[in-house]
Structure formats: structure tokens, C-alpha cells
């Protein structure tokens, strides 16, 4: 007899009992709909996901007392239909006219245990080695230097907040010819919040004590970890055999000090070249943190680097140059603000190339220039950089802009300087806060267009070093990133959402100048000054 209120679980029980075989959630839904076992209150945009969730919760909650059991990944059956047996290795076999199945225990959708002991490097071990920002190519020498000597392990929960240590993780890129395996990070992991929801091409995880065996002693368990993580994160019945290391190739090391999470990790980049495409082309996820798994063809597919987390950007740029060559160098979202008389506000992080963009607007397109740094220096009654050290100037600027009227005062001073130039088109360089930008828009008598200049942290560092220090190693990546992450700079990434156009500085000066020229052509910007000017 049907219950007063039809439910997913009731419908599932009826269908499985009627067909007497394990079924997937999608199969149950299809058969239940055909049998008219659904009611109006069971409507859902994704009924198979709703049923899968309810079945999973019911099995977890009631354990051995659950009406339902799994017999394989994604397959559900009824406990009372199981035939008692002891020979679980013979699966499936048949007893009379009923198949014999064993209970399958699914991997729980939860983060890895927090008490695992992970491999860490103390500061005295890495500070003289990891002086770079980004990805450095290495076939083993740098990795051996990092892992040489007594190894240190620490509970992961402690390592996540331990200053002066870097946790060693693997970052494995799976390829087959021009094909690259990519996925989207889910929430069932301890991955940093800013990485969740970003596309990624690196599988792997923390190197632990368990990865260090008799066979993996020389590399501190790095390769062993890569094999284990691939087999855990991807499903395919031991895709990588334990001793099958011939397809694993060390590529380099990622040192990323551009974020708090990055500063606590160092990644060993490894490529796994598959040889059995028939097995791998239909590979599925093995962990809930792996979503939207897909193969990308670098020769045919459109790959937008902005959709990928920073470490994946580094790998795309280094190992797949054809992808970078296909990247848009600029995007225009709105053309109207650039028409007739207007103000262009150029924003971007330190070292991004915004000063070069401003110079292009003023020297090549005839815009009158207002430098916000000089205007702010007048308001602060100090000399502009470098007359005042950058660190001191940032400190004073942050104190000023944090006051109630600070953004408004700066915006009005910038607009006053623009009006004094008596020009129909003005470019303002150096705005760093959303409040200041909004104030400029509110008080301006002409349209205000925003151009955001984007550069990855490693590109920005090289750009800044070449400009300020002529390429000399007189500033370290760490020093640069301290400036980049200063209090006055923290809002800059959020300004991208207000952009009418974005310039991407992927490769350096030569390509960037070309991007500026093409963007100006699309916006129909030209030098309006007369030859006599």
C-alpha cells in the first residue's frame, strides 16, 4: 500500500523490488516516471540528484538497518533482496534464479582526515632556494635540494597555521598528446577558499609520511604521492600502477608567495603521459572535490586562462604556449563611455603595466594625463614616490583614504586637476580604491571609462623589476609581493568588476604594446590633437 504522501525513497523501493536488480538513481527516476510513481511534491529540476542524495543520506544515517544498500558505485539495491553468503570474492554469481551481490561501501564525501602528518620544509631549508615567484623548470635537481637531509613531518592542522614552514604538495598534469585533463574544484576538500570553483589542471595533494616507503626514499615520497593522489581523485580501477613510474615526468617547482595559502605551500609539478587512451578517455572522478572533469584539446578548444586558478595559469603558460598565443589580449565590455569627451581611469596592480597603458593614452592618443600619486602627495603634503619611500607613502595614503571624507577629497582633487588641463579627453592613473572610483564617477561632469590592466603576480614582478631596477636582482619576489599586498593595494583586484575594458598582460612589453594598439582601434580612439599641438 502506498503511503499518504509519496516520497523519493518509497518510489525507489517499489522500483527496485519490482525489477529485482541494482539500479542507478537515473534508472530509478526513469522507471518511476514511467510507472507514474511520482507526485507533484516530488518535482525537481534534477530529480536523479535529489534521489541520489536521499539514498546516500538514508544509507549513512541508518547503516546496517538501512532498507537500501549499494552494490557498486552509483548502484542501489534492497537489503532484504541480498542472499546471505560468505564467498564475497565470487561477485556476482547466481543462486537459483536470483543474482548474488555484495554490499559496496562508498567513499564518504568529506575532506581528508585532519590529523595526517604532512611533509614540511623549515624556512632555513628553503629560504636560499625558493627566491623566485611562480614556476621554475626543474627535472629533479631543485627538488632533491629541497628534500635532502632529515625530513620533517607535522600534523596538517598545525602546518596550516605554522609560520616559517612550507608544506610539500604534488601537482600532476595528465596529458595525452595535445589533450589535457581539467576539472573544477568542488567544496569537499580543504583546498583554499579562493581556489574553489576555479578550473584546474593539477591533481595531487600533500605528501605525507605514508608516501615515504622503501621504494620512494630518495624523493621523500613525491612520486608515490602522485600515484596515490591520481588513483584517489580519479576513478578507473588503479589507473596508475604503483611501480609504473615511466610515464611520470618531473617538470618543475611552483613557489607562490602572492597569497597567504601560497606562502605555506611549495608544489612539485609532474606530468603523467597516458598510454591507454581507451581507459582514460572515459575517466570519472573518484572524489567529490573533483567536478566537471573533461579533456581539453590545446590545438582545437578555446581555453580562457582567466577561468583557471593561478597555478594552472602558470602551467598553461609554460607548457602549452599555443594556449597562451590564443588568449585574448584585451576585452571591451562597453564602448559608450569612450565616446566624445570623457575621462579614462586606468587601474591595476603594481607592475601590471598600467603606467605603460597610461603613457600610451597620453603620448599616442593625445589624452591629457593626471597622476593620482602626485595629486595625493599634495593632499598629504609630502613628496611623491620616490621622494617619499613607497612604504611610507603607502602608510600615509592608507590613513588618508580610510577617513570618512578621504575618497571624496581625492576624487574632487583629481577632477579639479583634470578640468585645469582644459582637455576633452583625460587619463587618470593610479586609483586604488572602489570608493575613490565611485566618487570620481559621481562628481564628474563627463562619462568615466575604466580600463583594468591585469598581470599575474610573476609577470608583474618581472615587469616591475625590469622597469624600476633594469632587471637587476636588487629586489626579491618576497619584497615585491609585500608591496603588492600592502593595505592600499588590496582592493585593486575588485576594481576589475567595474571595468569597461580589460587589458591582459600575459607575455610582457612587446605583446602588451600590440594589445594597446588593437584595443584603441576597436574603440576607435585616435589622436584628436591637431598637428600644431
Greater confidence (525 vs 185) lies with 525
State the Cα–Cα distance between residues 512 and 503, nearest whole angstrom. 8
The whole-chain average pLDDT of the chain stands at 83
91 against 473, higher pLDDT: 473
Lowest-pLDDT range of 43-47, 342-346, 481-485: 43-47
Characterize 384-420 residue by residue with b for buried, 16 or more Cβ atoms within 10 angstroms of its Cβ, and e for exposed: eeeebeeeebbebbbebbeeeebbbbbbebbbebbee
Domain 330-522 has CATH 3.30.1130.10: no
Lowest mean pLDDT among 38-47, 119-128, 360-369: 38-47
Lowest mean pLDDT among 15-19, 67-71, 188-192, 306-310: 188-192
Q: Can you name the CATH fold of 117-325? A: Nucleoside Triphosphate Pyrophosphohydrolase (3.90.79)
Number of H helices, E strands in the chain: 19, 21
Distance CA(428)–CA(342), nearest Å, equals 11
Per-position b or e across 7-33, b if 16+ CB within 10 A of its CB:
ebbbbbbbbbeeeeebbbbebbbebbe
Rounded average pLDDT over 466-492: 80
Q: What percent of the chain has pLDDT over 70?
A: 84
3-16 mean pLDDT:
81
pLDDT at 475 over 90: no
Prediction pTM value: 0.71
pLDDT of res. 53: 85
CATH entry, 8-100, from 1.10.287, 1.10.10, 3.30.160, 3.40.50: 1.10.10
- Decide if 165 contacts 122 (C-beta within 8 A): yes
Average the pLDDT over 31-53 and give the result: 72
Report the C-alpha gap between 285 and 236 in whole angstroms: 9
244/156: higher pLDDT: 156
Give the mean pLDDT of 22-37. Answer: 82
Domain positions in the chain:
8-100, 117-325, 330-522
- The bridge status of strand 234-235 relative to strand 248-255 is unpaired
- Over residues 461-490, mean pLDDT: 81
Mean pLDDT over residues 484-489, rounded? 84
Would you state the pLDDT for residue 101? 65
Find the mean pLDDT for residues 302-320: 92
More confident residue, 193 or 265: 265
Q: What is the distance between the alpha carbons of residues 20 and 37, in angstroms, rounded to a whole number?
A: 17
8-state DSSP, 498:
G
pLDDT digits (tens, 9 = 90+) for 384-399: 988 998 889 989 999 9
Q: How confident is the model at residue 295 (pLDDT cuts 50, 70, 90)?
A: very high
Q: Report strand pairing: 265-273 vs 165-176.
A: parallel
pLDDT of residue 194: 41
**pLDDT top residue among 38 and 143:** 143
Amino acid at each position: 500500500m502506498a503511503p499518504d504522501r509519496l516520497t523519493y525513497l518509497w518510489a525507489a523501493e517499489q522500483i527496485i523490488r519490482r525489477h529485482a536488480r541494482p539500479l542507478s538513481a537515473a534508472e530509478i527516476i526513469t522507471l518511476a516516471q514511467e510507472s507514474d510513481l511520482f507526485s507533484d511534491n516530488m518535482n525537481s529540476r534534477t530529480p536523479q540528484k535529489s534521489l541520489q542524495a536521499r539514498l546516500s543520506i538514508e544509507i549513512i544515517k541508518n547503516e546496517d538497518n538501512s532498507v537500501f544498500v549499494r552494490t557498486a558505485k552509483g548502484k542501489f539495491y534492497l537489503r532484504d533482496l541480498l542472499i546471505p553468503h560468505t564467498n564475497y570474492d565470487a561477485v556476482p554469481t547466481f543462486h537459483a534464479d536470483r543474482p548474488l551481490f555484495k554490499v559496496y561501501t562508498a567513499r564518504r564525501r568529506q575532506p581528508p582526515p585532519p590529523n595526517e602528518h604532512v611533509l614540511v620544509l623549515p624556512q632555513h631549508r628553503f629560504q636560499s632556494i625558493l627566491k623566485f615567484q611562480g614556476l621554475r623548470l626543474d627535472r629533479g635537481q631543485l627538488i632533491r635540494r629541497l628534500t635532502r637531509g632529515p625530513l620533517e613531518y607535522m600534523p596538517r592542522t598545525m602546518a596550516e597555521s605554522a609560520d616559517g614552514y612550507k608544506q610539500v604538495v604534488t601537482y600532476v598534469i595528465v596529458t595525452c598528446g595535445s589533450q589535457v585533463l581539467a576539472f573544477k574544484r568542488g567544496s569537499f576538500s580543504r583546498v583554499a577558499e579562493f581556489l574553489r570553483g576555479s578550473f584546474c589542471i593539477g591533481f595531487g595533494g600533500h605528501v605525507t609520511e605514508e608516501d615515504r616507503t622503501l621504494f620512494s626514499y630518495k624523493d621523500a615520497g613525491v612520486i608515490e604521492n602522485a600515484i596515490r593522489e591520481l588513483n584517489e581523485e580519479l576513478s578507473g580501477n588503479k589507473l596508475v600502477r604503483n611501480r609504473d613510474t615511466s610515464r611520470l615526468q618531473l617538470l618543475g617547482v611552483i613557489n607562490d608567495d602572492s597569497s597567504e595559502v601560497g606562502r605555506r605551500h611549495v608544489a612539485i609539478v609532474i606530468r603523467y603521459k597516458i598510454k591507454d587512451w581507451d581507459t582514460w578517455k572515459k575517466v570519472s572522478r573518484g572524489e567529490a572535490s573533483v567536478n566537471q572533469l573533461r579533456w581539453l584539446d590545446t590545438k582545437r578548444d578555446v581555453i580562457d586562462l582567466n577561468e583557471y586558478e593561478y597555478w594552472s595559469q602558470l602551467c598553461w603558460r609554460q607548457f602549452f604556449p599555443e594556449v597562451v598565443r590564443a588568449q585574448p589580449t584585451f576585452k571591451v565590455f562597453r564602448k559608450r563611455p569612450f565616446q566624445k569627451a570623457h575621462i579614462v581611469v586606468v587601474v591595476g596592480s603594481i607592475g601590471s603595466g598600467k603606467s605603460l597603458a597610461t603613457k600610451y593614452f597620453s603620448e599616442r592618443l593625445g589624452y591629457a594625463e593626471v597622476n593620482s600619486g602626485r595629486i595625493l602627495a599634495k593632499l598629504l603634503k609630502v613628496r611623491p614616490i620616490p621622494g617619499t619611500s613607497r612604504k611610507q607613502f603607502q602608510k600615509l595614503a592608507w590613513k588618508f583614504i580610510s577617513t570618512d571624507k578621504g575618497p571624496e577629497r581625492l576624487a574632487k582633487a583629481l577632477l579639479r586637476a583634470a578640468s585645469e588641463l582644459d582637455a576633452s579627453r583625460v587619463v587618470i592613473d593610479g586609483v586604488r580604491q572602489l570608493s575613490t572610483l565611485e566618487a570620481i564617477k559621481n562628481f564628474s561632469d563627463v562619462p568615466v571609462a575604466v580600463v583594468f590592466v591585469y598581470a599575474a603576480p610573476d609577470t608583474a614582478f618581472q615587469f616591475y623589476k625590469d622597469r624600476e631596477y633594469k632587471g637587476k636582482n636588487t629586489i626579491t619576489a618576497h619584497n615585491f609581493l609585500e608591496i603588492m599586498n600592502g593595505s592600499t593595494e588590496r582592493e585593486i583586484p575588485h576594481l576589475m568588476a567595474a571595468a569597461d575594458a580589460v587589458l591582459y598582460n600575459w607575455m610582457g612589453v612587446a605583446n602588451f604594446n600590440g594589445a594597446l594598439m588593437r584595443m584603441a582601434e576597436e574603440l576607435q580612439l585616435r589622436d584628436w590633437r591637431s598637428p600644431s599641438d
